[in-house]
Amino acid sequence: MRQALLGSRPLTLALAETPGKGRRRPLGARLTAMIGPKAACASCSAPPLQSVEARGPPGPGGASWAMADCQPLQVHFAVPAGVEEAARRMANFAARHQKERRRVVLITSGGTKVPLESRTVRFLDNFSSGRRGATSAEHFLRAGYAVIFLHRHRSLFPFNHRYSSLNWLDILQLPPSRQDDDLPSASASRVEVAPKAVPALVPLLQDYQRVKEAGTLLPVEFSTLSEYLHLLRAAAQALAPLGNSAMFYLAAAVSDFYIPASEMPEHKIQSSSGPLQITMKMVPKMLSPLVREWAPQAFVISFKLETDPDIVIDRARQALATYRHQVVVANILDTLRTHVILVTQNSKKDLYLSEEEASCGKEIEEKIVSNLSTRHTNFMHQN
């Protein structure tokens, strides 16, 4: 289910139900959500979740942001289980590649889930397959980067996403029995790949094994908005010591709305009560503290998806002016796989994928990563 923004008017959203025995997805219920008022957030220059007290001075170096420094994270987004362990793994990964003088990129991928109940059955989901993030991760790895892949649980994953729509049983086969070469062995202890699948599978497997042996890919999973926000902050703290050799490639589809834990019903919302109306708060934009405080020396790329080509450049420039990061990758929904625009404060660069290139297996992400890698090199030389 996609999240839709309709200005200050009521927002009609479809609900989904957590899958389980005897349940089907999606749920046929409807939800009308009223968007709460906007105001400036004193702690992170973003719309607040409720009233927020001004934050004190940053810690040493200004690069870290403890939980107590930001009321939205502290009060409304409790630290989920597993965040501390993931933070440790990301810090160790970043430190190892810093010693090896390798650039590290954090790629966020997939959509966030916003619970509507404490014991979650229904939730608001930002739909994203994670294709751009997964494909981009492959090209960053080929370009020599180490990659922290912060991705939605069960979203597309580097390398194996190319077979995500395939039934694996269709490309596997049992070897023939000795008695009859035309029949598979019922007791075979070995499985073979069908010859027709080998040409495409071998180079992909070689790339994956090289990455695995080099230890240059660290996957970290999230599902909920709260998990994403805390893991993003932890990743930024892990990459901050790398200075300008760190890159953030923020391709995840992050919810704009949420329900604070204090306002969330504990149990499943009952349809027998009739039509449902819920007021949802605005999620603070974490790009501001990321750029200004968490990792102020890093090279940061955000994404802007629009349906109207006449406004996409202006919206991208507005984001650059607000958050002061380096690049916005602007997309139009109808052409996002064949055309993107790399927008900076002073320039814009159109990247196209021709029909001929697409027919040969080339991907727009290869061009995006190549261009951004060059920009990152220039950024490092200038800073």
Examine residue 324 and state whether it is found in any structural domain, yes or no: no
User: Is the predicted pLDDT of residue 48 greater than 60, yes or no?
Assistant: no
Number of helices (H), then strands (E), belonging to the chain: the values are 9, 17
Domain holding 76, by residue range, is 11-297
pLDDT at residue 330, rounded to an integer:
97
Examine residue 56 and state whether it is found in any structural domain, yes or no: yes
Cα dihedral across residues 108, 366, 99, 299: positive or negative: negative
Q: How many CA atoms lie within 13 A of 144 on its CB side?
A: 12
SS3 label, residue 127: coil
SS3 label, residue 371: helix
Q: Encode pLDDT of 58-103 as tens digits.
A: 333 333 333 334 455 656 677 888 899 999 999 999 999 999 999 9
Give the CATH number for residue 105: 3.40.50.10300
Question: What gap in Å lies between CA 283 and CA 226, rounded to an integer?
Answer: 10
Examine residue 304 and state whether it is found in any structural domain, yes or no: no
SS3 label, residue 187: coil
Supply 76's token pair.
């409304």
As a whole-number percent, the residues of the chain with pLDDT over 70 amount to 75
SS3 label, residue 248: strand
Highest mean pLDDT (candidates 121-125, 127-131, 231-235): 231-235
The answer to whether the pTM exceeds 0.85 is no
Question: What gap in Å lies between CA 213 and CA 141, rounded to an integer?
Answer: 13
pLDDT at residue 113, rounded to an integer:
85
Question: What gap in Å lies between CA 72 and CA 69, rounded to an integer?
Answer: 9
Examine residue 347 and state whether it is found in any structural domain, yes or no: no
Examine residue 332 and state whether it is found in any structural domain, yes or no: no
Kindly state the helix (H) or strand (E) to which residue 244 belongs, with its residue range. Answer: none
In 121-224, where does DSSP find H-type helix? 131-142, 198-214
Output b/e per residue, 179-203; b: 16+ Cβ within 10 A.
eeeeeeeeeeeeeeeeeebeeeeee
pLDDT at residue 92, rounded to an integer:
98
Beta bridge partners of 30: 14
67, with CB counted inside 10 A (0-12, 13-18, 19+), is middle
Contacts of 65 (CB under 8 A, 6+ apart): 58, 59, 233, 237, 289, 293, 294
How many CB atoms are closer than 10 A to CB 221? 16
Question: What gap in Å lies between CA 365 and CA 342, rounded to an integer?
Answer: 12
Question: Where is average pLDDT lowest: 63-72, 114-123, 370-379?
Answer: 63-72
Examine residue 50 and state whether it is found in any structural domain, yes or no: yes
- At 252, which amino acid appears? A
Examine residue 76 and state whether it is found in any structural domain, yes or no: yes
Question: What gap in Å lies between CA 214 and CA 62, rounded to an integer?
Answer: 32
Examine residue 336 and state whether it is found in any structural domain, yes or no: no
**Radius of gyration in angstroms for the set of CA atoms belonging to the chain, rounded to a whole number:** 23
Residue 7 region by backbone torsions, left for phi larger than 0, else alpha for psi between -120 and 50, else beta: left
Supply 97's token pair.
């590649």
Q: Encode pLDDT of 162-208 as tens digits.
A: 776 677 788 888 887 766 566 655 556 788 888 888 888 898 899 99
CA–CA distance from 320 to each of 5, 300, 301 (Å)? 21, 10, 10
When the pLDDT of each residue in the chain is averaged and rounded to a whole number, the result is 80
Q: Quote the number of domains for the chain.
A: 1
What DSSP state is assigned to residue 267?
A: S
Give the position of tokens 């990152």: 376
Contacts of 18 (CB under 8 A, 6+ apart): 120, 121, 122, 123
